[in-house]
Amino acid sequence: MWALLAWLSLTHDAQSQESDASGNSHSSRPEPMVFDLVDPLGAPKGEFEINTLLDYSTRTGQLEWSPEIEYSFADGYAIELELPLENTLLKEYKVSLQGIFGKLDSGRMIHGWQAIGRRKNEEKAYTAEILYLNDYKFSTKWSMMNMFGVRHTTLGKSGDFVGLLNNSLFYSYSKHLSLGIELNGEIREQEWRYRLTPQLQYVFNKQAILQLGGGPSRLNEEKKTDWLLTSRLIYSF
């Protein structure tokens, strides 16, 4: 499939590719669905967004969903409040901050950081994460997002450190439709766990975006392969 998409990309007008390759429009870059950005990197001040992630497990039948509110309080800086739920049970409170370091390679690359704090309700424990974000646009059609970081599972106690990885590759088929594949990884106790999610993103207009996908996951504590169906609905103001 990727070979076919690459061929389609090369058939587009080369001049159009050159004029758009700098990636000056951040909203034109697809974003990972599972490991969500607070806002697109470099979002302008005053941008407000609501979205909801839904995960359905075909193994357990459980539905996890996470309504979010996101706001850019300054150019390139945003805050997010998220409420992850399992069926109707509120699992945790999550607050995230995101900022940018700037642009490189004539604007093709934009990079930044994200800090996340969680309060797990059942364990009555707090966790923290810090990540480096790197978004690179190869051409008008191809782009990627990479995230690297670490999580401390229990602040103030003898918690563990977990390495975090997110690697996503996207192909923008048209101004409305993008296809992608996202790999989430966690490294803990000399063991690598993963979640692989092929996905598509459909942009209805400047405000509304729908993401759909699904794939195998071994991020669960049971270390069993779980097949997850996933969607995210985004609306910005």
For residue 166, the model assigns a pLDDT of 96
Query: Among the listed ranges 106-115, 157-166, 198-207, 224-233, which one has the minimum average pLDDT value?
Result: 157-166
For residue 236, the model assigns a pLDDT of 92
pTM summary value: 0.85
Query: Among the listed ranges 66-80, 86-100, 200-214, 219-233, which one has the minimum average pLDDT value?
Result: 219-233
pLDDT in tens, 197-209: 999 999 999 899 9
Q: What is the mean pLDDT of residues 161-190?
A: 95
Quickly list DSSP for the chain.
-HHHHHHHHHTS-HHHHHHHTT---GGGS---SSS--SS-TTPPTT-EEEEEEEEEETTT--EEEEEEEEEEEETTEEEEEE--EETTEE-EEEEEEEEEEEEEGGGTEEEEEEEEEEEETTTTEEEEEEEEEEEEE-SSSEEEEEEEEEEESSTTTT--EEEEEEEEEEEE-SSSEEEEEEEEEEEETTEEEEEEEEEEEEE-SSSEEEEEEEEEE--STT---EEEEEEEEEEE-
For residue 11, the model assigns a pLDDT of 43
Q: What is the mean pLDDT of residues 141-151?
A: 96
pLDDT in tens, 83-115: 999 989 999 999 999 999 999 999 999 999 999
Q: What is the mean pLDDT of residues 119-136?
A: 94
